[in-house]
Structure 1
Amino acid sequence: MNVMIFAAGLGTRMRPLTETTAKALIPVAGRPLLDHALEQARAALPAQIVVNAYHHAQQVQAHLSTEADVTCVVEPNPVLETGGGLRNALPLLGSDPVMTLNSDAVWTGPSAAQTLRAAWDPTRMDGLLLLVPLDRAHGRKGGGDFAITSSGALVRDADGMVYTGAGIVKTAGLAHITDQVFSLRELWAPMAAEGRLHGVVHPGHWADVGHPEGITLAETMLREQTRP
């Protein structure tokens, strides 16, 4: 299964840090966010890892220049968001289901990628999202995103669990979206309507590092949750 890591965001919530640095290269616990994501991606034993870049793209390209198993795709103007970015990378990713990872997050506990792979069932699912309860979502601003029904399918629920930025999707539905710039939510919507967007709960903790205060929260989480 190939992996797509989203690293093209403008980082507006992370300003002023992103005025001079790509968001994906901001360090957390001594390592760039992108390296945390690459560690997760490689746990899935992918045939191909694709990273998109846009804001400070040259920095991301330089950082990945020695990574033989990673291809960096620089997006055209305007930035394509997650759905558009995934579709733009399909020539490299192929037509099989793709694991998607946001680069502005860190996890503790078992590998997020392996949890997704173990739960993935393409006979019942067109999409699978990795979730955590709100009490294990560090730096989360706002409520939840989804609830998991008895069948495993997802429904929108502001009091439910939080989407962690990791999932697996079949990509055929991208061909039916006419917008150039769009979120993965546009791909998920018809899956959810047909009961084929499912969820699995991550056993560990997760931190949103899309804003400056998320850095400290993530580092504290990593220290506390990885102690022997």
Structure 2
Amino acid sequence: MTIRNAMVLAAGLGTRLRPITDTTPKPLVAIGGKPMIDYALDALTQAGIDTIAINVHHHAGQMEQHLAHYDRANILISDERDRLMDSGGGLAKGLKLLPAGPVMVMNADLFWLERPDLEQTALEKLAGFFDSSRMDMAMLCVTLEHTTGHNGKKDFNLNDDGRLARYRDGDDNPVVYAGAIAMDSRLLADAPDEPFNLNIYFDRAIAAGRLFGTMLDGEWITVGTPDAIEAAETTIRRFNREVAA
């Protein structure tokens, strides 16, 4: 499936990354010499996305100034200065800026590293995997051993048929949600205009047997606290050495 539109969730407060986020929005914190949100934007545009809605709240002016200089895609701002909408409410609001249809959804405060010789990028693979006739959402997932900065939580179990269920102790194929989703924006047509968590739709999709996952071939990085920055940059240096070897 070809997907041309995307929504990046970027409005969070980043409280665990204080004091850095007292003056800088979390998506603009540089890791490996690059703002975290630019990893997401570059991954999206490399996969053929040309229009991206991005929600802003914390230090919104800094976000808008930075995004104004990003010229690889048409950037649309979903303004949440007056009220944070949580993950689900923010997504539902931002999707109204985009045409109805297939859309990629990403978080702005995590990213991954991929070898340049892969036949498909992770997001190209995710777009090709998504089938709206049998899926509400297709998630990009990663194994715990290929994460840096993660808290160790196992989010889902990936079944042999590609379906996802909430992880339970003893499940044999635990995966971590990697922060990228392919879906049809019309899935949220009934969403309230109030803040809500996107997990509501994850659980609905699981109950209907329509939440699927595909695996990331790469190294996934999240930075939740100041102490996690060095671990992230160490992973980037190691990965770059391995690619160059």
TM-score normalised by structure 2 residue count: 0.87
Amino acid at match of 1:97: P
2:55 alignment partner in structure 1: 52
Q: CA RMSD in A?
A: 1.6
Structure 1 equivalent of residue 235 of structure 2: 221
- How many residue pairs align between the two structures? 228
Given that residues 28 and 63 in structure 2 are in contact (C-alpha distance below 8 angstroms), is that contact kept between their aligned partners in structure 1? Answer: yes
| Separation in structure 1 between the aligned mates of residue 225 and residue 177 of structure 2, nearest angstrom | 16
> After the TM superposition, which residues 53-92 of structure 1 pair with which residues of structure 2 at under 5 Å, given as runs?
53-68=56-71, 69-92=74-97
8 Å CA contact 1:139–1:213 kept in 2: the answer is no
So what's the TM-score if we normalise by structure 1?
Answer: 0.93
Q: After superposition, give the CA deviation of every residue in 1:124-170 in whole Å (9 maximum; x if it has no partner).
A: 21101111111111111132101111221101115611101111122
- Name the amino acid aligned to 1:15: R
Q: Match of 2:189, SS?
A: helix
| 2:225 match | 211
Structure 2 counterpart of 1:198: 212
Give the 5 Å matches for 1:178-197. Answer: 178=192, 180-197=194-211
The aligned counterpart of 1:156 is: 166
Is the 8 Å Cα contact of residues 112 and 166 (structure 1) preserved in structure 2? no
Comparing 189-198 with 106-115, which one deviates more in the overlay? 106-115
Taking only the aligned residue pairs, the percentage that are identical comes to 38
- Flag as ranges the 4+ runs of structure 1 deviating above 4 A: none
Structure 1: runs of 5+ lacking an equivalent: none
Matched, 1:103 2:108: yes
Structure 2 portions without partners, runs of 5+: 116-120
Partner of 1:26: 29
Conservation of the 8 A alpha-carbon contact between 1:84 and 1:181:
yes
Q: SS of 2:96's equivalent?
A: helix
- The 10-residue stretch of structure 1 (29-38 or 55-64) with the greater mean CA deviation from structure 2: 29-38
**Residue 136, structure 1, aligned to residue 137, structure 2:** no
Deviation of 1:183 (Å): 1.9
